[in-house]
Structure 1
Amino acid sequence: MGKSLAKKEEKEARESRLHLAIEHDDVDELHNLIVEEPELLDRISKHPFPNTPLHIAAAAGKIDVAMELAILKPSFTRKLNPEGYSPMHLALQHEQYHIVRALMTTNPRLIRVRGRGGITPLHFVAQRKVDDEKENEKLMELLAEFLVVCKSSIEDLTNQYETAVHVAVKNHNLEAFEVFLIWLRRVREVEILNWKDKDGNTVLHIAASENQPKIIKLLTPRVDIDVRNFQNKTALEIFQGNSSGDEDLAKRFRRSWLERQHVPKIFLLEFLRKEPTCFEQLKTFMALQTQSARETILIVATLVAIATYQAALTPPGGYWQDNSLNAPANSVAVTANSSGIAVEKPHQAGNMILAGSRLYMFTVLNSLVFFISIIAIWITSIPQLPHTLTVYLLMIFLSNSYLCNLAFAIPKSTEVPVSIVFLGFYFISLAVGFLGPFSLWIHYSGLIVRIKSTGRRVATS
């Protein structure tokens, strides 16, 4: 009994020393305690929702001990205490921004840790607005750092299905909203502004109900105005029902609403009842390949394109180095020898020496292989459209360069028949490999934009 009591007192003494070490930001004492009892940190943090030493250090702004604990026990950085807060949440609450930045440096994904109510550190900063201009500027700087360090944090939702943009608007935080808006435009994710909360309200619905004219003016050109919430009201109807609504803004609202009415809408259920479009079928077919298979195809196609392009630059026989406009006077102009190489034929410097049927065969076969490799690169890029649009355009430029090289190198006497055959291959390949999938993608993208769905973000696997 006495021995058990002594051990208990010893443990309590160590815990008391640990608190003192945190209070004095003493890393050496922390390690001394761990040497004495290696299980110390685990023992005092064994509960499902522990108030770990890192929570205490983060709230108190003890950066040396906090960072040492984050290194020794990385799991502490994501744990929630009984109140539902992580160490980063507590550091934000106590305005210990140097601790926040230090934790963010060790693991940027800590910005996405969902605490009480599903609120992440990004939500917390978005909802907080202080009267002091300098302090508010520090918060906005931290908000910007969160977005740059962890781009996907903008997609996180609270338990009310609210994005950080929803939270900023609800709390009349115009500065934070402006940062979010510019960021979403920069990363091309403005569609997030159309996401709905648990009541079906978009950011525009909230701005209209809270009568925030500055935010409404910024939003109307960029969001879907005729979206209805779960009370079957549009943002315009909510704004018009607000007795303090600005009449000039209401007119602008109505004008923007009328401008968008000519765009036909379809519902998600209606879309899913339709047969898959040609682009969907093509995209699905190409996506069935494994990632390694797509990479192999892309590498091989690229190597073939390089080889055939190089062959067009260095054809068999090479190029004439001088000009010769007249054949010898004592003989008929010889068009080609037994090897298919022109001999004393009128020519210009820079023309291919190869002539006759062998020139046709080389040009056609080399061009055919070149364009097949280009098409293979295009098709492999289809599942990643529109992100691979640059690849499509670069292949167009490469094909045009190939065409120009041959056009300048083919001898005048044979350039008409060869050019006809070559141009036929070129434009057919272009239409099949690029214009076909690209036009199907344009049609499919327009269809998706017109879909009126729930406006909720749903995680996909």
Structure 2
Amino acid sequence: MEHSLSEAAMTGNIDSLREIIGRDALILDKVAAGCFRGPSPLHVATSNKQTRFVEELLRRKQELTEVLDPQLRSALHLASAKGYNEIVEVLVKADPDMCLIRDRDGKNPLHVAAARGRVSILEELVGTCPEAARVRVDRDDTILHLCVKHNQLESLEKLLDVIQDRDFVNAKDNDGNNILHLAILYKRFEITSHVLGKKIMDVNAKNASGRTAMDILFPLHGASESDRKILDHIEDLLLEANGKGAKGLVGGDWLTKKKDSLMVVASLIATMAFQAGVNPPGGVWQDDSHGHRAGEAVMAYNYQHSYPYFLRFNTIGFVASLSTILLLISGLKFKNKVTMWILIVSMWLAITSMAITYAFSNVVVTPKKDRRSLSYTIKIAVIVWSCVMALLLLRHTYYLVAIFVKEKRSKMKAVKRIMKAQNLLNRWSLLRNLLGLSDRGSARSLPVATS
């Protein structure tokens, strides 16, 4: 009986199916319950693209969609792998939840369709069960990782159009690699170009080994000549997207890691400046007499020339520290050079202003007999301090400007090389058309055509 049912499923003979059911009305129930010794007739019919037979089986016993083979694959897995669109539509209509069933390798039907490049089926399954696209397989790979590993650009394009979640697109596997890391590791030029063109990839993300996409690229340059051409084009794309090695991100990473410490320091400086502003050295008058009023600063009367400077520098320190706090809580990325420079200048102003404020405060509270020697010491200290801070500021400014100019030049060179490569590709495609050759796959020959 089992053999006859398998034969009927293989040939799609519906009359034989009806005859078999007439002899044993419970045979499909046995299949659904796992008591059928042979291969599932739904799997057999699906593998042999017998669409009408599949429809007849599901009309009689819809639970057959839940039957799995020894590899834990459902009929939907098989139809997705083979690209049988009509059967996929029938199976999905019968039981949409089968999109979530995972086989022995941890793949659901969407993973299988993506890895095989079955774009129309992938579109159907994603539209039916979008959450299945977010399920991860073994080694924590996402469906996007599978597209890169199996070099399925069209599947990747479709998924990126549907999935607009930046975090999911930048998700990492067990080795900390996102899809950009893998695209470079497998030398996938077209995939790298498409992924970077979406502008949602963190081009400088680090994997578990602390390497960025650019760090992964450089050791690969020792490959064959044809591979080096591909890698040169990938390097141009990374430069255009502001890609850097891990060493070039030290400043931004340091600021990110030290964000909490900087917040504490900036808050402390703001507190000191506020306290000095409302309660200046020497205190305030307690009564109204001799030309002053209660609450006014004693320093403003006894040191009329110094008090305005004290107040100005204290205010600068207070505002600079508040600006630093605002930058730290604004959520800006500190890998941005302009943000880094603004943060450095704010901290420089805050610290320098408080140092000068401290000098004025010491002069006020020091007795006149010791003031001459103290004044001389403070002047020397302020001059040295100002010179050191000015040199540091100039050095950082020069460093940031130099990097900015260097990256601009690299990007311009990369853009020129990419435009040249595209022009050569267009000429190559035109030549193929003139010769009457198929243009299919010409985009994949870009690195070779540019030679």
> TM-score, structure 2 length as denominator?
0.49
> TM-score, structure 1 length as denominator?
0.48
